[in-house]
């Protein structure tokens, strides 16, 4: 199992650049200073010199408390992960000979997923001789799309792959909360 390598943030004497663009704890730019001058200013303030942007020319360093900076950075990463995870792809499976009431139940379940903000992939599985009548599957998807048009829009149109016909819906922008 590979472990993702995260670049370490350099601070104080670990900073390699000779000249740095320095920002103080209030966010004011102090200008381009030598590393020793920047370290002296950080020590005077009783804080750490943290390299914020090592790839810039000259690199940007900020005079800030390392513990506070590290805490804020981890919280920001956690928040980004939470936002990225919030949209799931839910899947609904159907058969060609589904009854009207069963179809209504599947449509209502799809509607609930969409209202919760999820994408929904509806999959129709062809069995046996149903393969000869693929157009019936497209007609079924048209019925579903028509019933969901108030909350959903098509994210990926109907696609036929092997014995499966799939369509993906996402919550439409004009859907009510």
Domain extent at residue 67? 12-83
For residue range 126-163, what is the model confidence (pLDDT) as tens digits? Answer: 998 988 889 999 999 999 999 999 999 999 999 999 89
Number of domains in the chain: 2
Determine, yes or no, domain membership for 153.
yes
Do residue 167 and residue 95 come from a single domain? yes
Determine, yes or no, domain membership for 6.
no
For residue range 61-80, what is the model confidence (pLDDT) as tens digits? Answer: 999 998 888 898 899 988 88
- In this structure, what CATH number is given to the domain that contains residue 41? 3.10.20.80
Domain boundary among 23, 54, 83: 83
CA 85 to chain CA centroid, Å, is: 6
For residue range 15-62, what is the model confidence (pLDDT) as tens digits? Answer: 888 899 999 888 889 889 898 998 898 898 889 888 888 888 889 999
List all residues 6 or more positions away from 65 whose beta carbon is below 8 Å from its beta carbon: 25, 47, 48
């Amino acid at each position: 199992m590979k472990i993702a390598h995260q670049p370490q943030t350099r601070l104080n004497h670990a900073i390699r650049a000779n000249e740095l663009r320095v920002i103080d704890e209030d966010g004011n730019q102090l200008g381009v200073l030598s590393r020793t001058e920047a370290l002296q200013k950080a020590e005077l303030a009783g804080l750490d010199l943290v390299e914020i942007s090592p790839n810039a020319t000259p690199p940007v360093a900020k005079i800030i408390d390392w513990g506070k900076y590290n805490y804020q950075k981890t919280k920001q990463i956690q928040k980004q992960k939470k936002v990225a995870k919030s949209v799931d792809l839910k899947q609904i499976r159907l058969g060609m000979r589904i009854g009207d009431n069963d179809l209504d139940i599947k449509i209502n379940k799809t509607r609930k997923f969409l209202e919760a903000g999820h994408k929904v992939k509806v999959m129709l599985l062809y069995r046996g001789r149903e393969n000869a009548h693929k157009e019936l599957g497209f007609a079924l998807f048209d019925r579903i799309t028509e019933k969901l048009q108030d909350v959903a829009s098509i994210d990926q149109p109907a696609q036929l792959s092997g014995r499966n016909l799939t369509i993906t819906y996402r919550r439409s922008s004009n859907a009510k909360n």
